[in-house]
Amino acid sequence: MDDVVSYDESLAASDQRHLIHPLHHPKDHANAKIFVSAQGAMLRTADGREYIDSLSALWNVNIGHGRKELAAAAAAQMEKLDYASAYAGYSNEPAIKLAERIVGLAYDNMSAVYFTTSGAESNESAFKFARYHWKRLGKPNKVKVISRRYGYHGVTLAAMSATSLPNYHKMFGPTVPEFLQVAPPYPYRWPGNGDAGIGAAEAVEEAILQQGPDTVAAIIAEPVQGSGGVIVPPPTYFPKLREICDKYDVLLIADEVITGFGRTGQWFGMGHWGVKPDLMSFAKGVTSGYLPLGGVVISKRLHDVILDAPADEKFMHAATYSGHPVCCAVGLANIDIMDKEGMVERAKVQGDRFRAGLETLSSLPCVGEVRGIGMLAAIELVEDKGSRAPAKGLGAKVVAQAMDRGLLLRVRAAADGPPPSGDVLVFAPPLSTPEATLDRIVQIVGESIQAAM
Ligand code: PLP
């Protein structure tokens, strides 16, 4: 990263005047970092500072920053075929090849891909696939979507309604009708001594029975709840949930926007528990964030229903950029790199090592739990270890301390629940992060927590 950068005050001032940022509040944006370049797990800002990127930007830069192969793939495709419609009747080679590749990597019941350009759009599409499916099968009232508290599925209107972190709803309600939420499989915060996996799956069954199975289209679930605080379910949860979905004819949508493409040490997350969803949303890691791309993979059972439809019941869902050739070419180059460099296996091995490092911080009085899987990890902060009283506000102080030490860190703020939980520091470094950098993250986090306490 030897580029020459000049920090331009007028750029920051122009940003303040003209740009609305995600989750915008002027106070949060008063001293914004303006990123100018990146390499591997490092980001560089316009004022010449370097930071370790402990979240792969937004859980998406799986292969790490600055891979020239992806830039070359984008340039080559843009020169050959920049864009063309992929609406029915048209197609392009990168979209075809990437769909085939993803179907090959995903669960063995999967059959076809619909491409989007974001995680929220993938989930919006998944909800529509589910409703379409039941309407085609003569069950037009199966429209409801169940999600779990602490779930994050994006913030377009229906996706926001499935997202169950209340601060995303407060200023935008009401949520879309026919979306409801149940308890998450959150072992550290599960009330009572029972198995959180079985208990949380039974909460889904109760909701289905209460609503009436003939009204429920689908449940959407991240294999590991990411933005909600890297909540890893007990091994009992997904097998039991699959059983319940089968019993009541409810589709299981795996939201693998974070867990997809190697993040958890397998290509896709539900593989850890031997469970196959009916639909799988993906985005982020499919291009490692180099270009916006997402999609939904659907099972053969759903695909057949689309292929058999009469003309007046065709799948009238669309987007201009579905199957964008340049994004798909970058997706193919990204998967090639992951494959050739063994990044999925690396995520498992290095993830275990990284988590073992974070575990050494467990002795600090405010560290309630260290958890994770593959290259996903979290530290839940508490005020008191015995009672697990949630720490509120400590996370933001740790983040500020870490920033001073050259580490970009993200916190999921304490939430009232149910169940209530404390600030959670979340980690998802690039799968390619060198061991020394992972060790440095652990060291800085330890120092930052102690300084913040
Ligand atoms: N689903 C999950 C699990 C996510 O973590 C996210 C974003 O973090 C989304 C969906 C939404 O993706 P996007 O921000 O691309 O709309």
Digit-coded pLDDT (tens) for 26-65: 998 988 999 999 999 999 999 999 999 999 999 999 999 9
255 lines ligand 1 (CB under 6 A): yes
Confidence bin at 166 (pLDDT 50/70/90): confident
Taking CA atoms only, the protein residue closest to ligand 1 atom 10 is 153
419 lines ligand 1 (CB under 6 A): no
Gyration radius (Cα) of the chain, Å: 22
Where is the domain boundary, 323, 340, 357? 340
286 lines ligand 1 (CB under 6 A): no
* 390 within a domain of the structure (yes/no): yes
CA dihedral of 445, 446, 449, 452, whole degrees rounded to 10 = -100
Residue 31 to residue 117: CA distance in whole angstroms: 30
* 372 within a domain of the structure (yes/no): yes
Residue 283, CB-side half-sphere exposure with 13 Å CA sphere: 23
Where is the domain boundary, 271, 305, 340? 340
Does 412 have pLDDT greater than 50?
yes
Let me know whether 164 and 206 are in one domain: yes
Confidence bin at 6 (pLDDT 50/70/90): low
Q: What is the mean pLDDT of residues 299-326?
A: 98
Residue 45 to residue 21: CA distance in whole angstroms: 17
Predicted local confidence at residue 10, as pLDDT: 85
Residue 266, CB-side half-sphere exposure with 13 Å CA sphere: 13
* 255 CA closest ligand 1 atom index: 3
Mean predicted lDDT score pLDDT of the chain: 96
Predicted local confidence at residue 2, as pLDDT: 45
Contact predicate 335/293, CB 8 Å: no
Q: What is the per-residue DSSP string for 308-344? A: T--GGG------TTTT-HHHHHHHHHHHHHHHHTTHH
Overall domain count for the chain: 2
Where is the domain boundary, 283, 314, 340? 340
Q: What is the mean pLDDT of residues 396-416?
A: 97
Confidence bin at 424 (pLDDT 50/70/90): very high
Predicted local confidence at residue 222, as pLDDT: 98
Sign of the four-CA dihedral 32, 15, 290, 48: negative
306 lines ligand 1 (CB under 6 A): no
Q: Which residues contact 6 (CB under 8 A, 6 or more apart)?
A: 46
Does 158 have pLDDT greater than 60?
yes
Residue 204 to residue 222: CA distance in whole angstroms: 14
pLDDT tens-digit series, residues 242-295:
999 999 999 999 999 999 999 999 999 999 999 999 999 999 999 999 999 999
Q: What is the mean pLDDT of residues 417-437?
A: 96
Does 84 have pLDDT greater than 50?
yes
Residue 336 to residue 146: CA distance in whole angstroms: 35
pLDDT tens-digit series, residues 235-247:
999 999 999 999 9
379 lines ligand 1 (CB under 6 A): no
Predicted local confidence at residue 192, as pLDDT: 80
Residue 223 to residue 108: CA distance in whole angstroms: 17
How far from chain centre, in Å, is Cα 285? 9
Assessment of whether the complete model's pTM goes beyond 0.85: yes
CA of 283 to the centre of ligand 1 (A): 8
Instruction: Give the CA distances from residue 134 to residues 183, 206, 311, in Å, rounded to whole numbers and listed in that order.
Output: 25, 21, 17
Q: What share of the chain is helix, strand, coil (3-state, %, to 5)?
A: 40, 20, 40
CATH at 208: 3.40.640.10
Let me know whether 40 and 149 are in one domain: no
Let me know whether 314 and 223 are in one domain: yes
Q: Which helix (H) or strand (E) holds 138?
A: none
- Which is higher by pLDDT, 20 or 1? 20
Let me know whether 318 and 219 are in one domain: yes
Q: What percent of the chain has pLDDT over 90?
A: 95
Domain with 292, as residue range(s), is 69-340
Does 22 have pLDDT greater than 60?
yes
pLDDT tens-digit series, residues 192-218:
889 999 999 999 999 999 999 999 999
Beta strands in 256-293 (DSSP E): 279-282
Give SS3 for 400.
helix
* 24 within a domain of the structure (yes/no): no
* 123 CA closest ligand 1 atom index: 10
Let me know whether 229 and 298 are in one domain: yes
- Which is higher by pLDDT, 441 or 2? 441
CATH at 396: 3.90.1150.10
Confidence bin at 111 (pLDDT 50/70/90): very high
* 10 within a domain of the structure (yes/no): no
Taking each helix axis from N to C end, the angle separating 68-80 and 325-340, rounded to the nearest 10 degrees, works out to 150
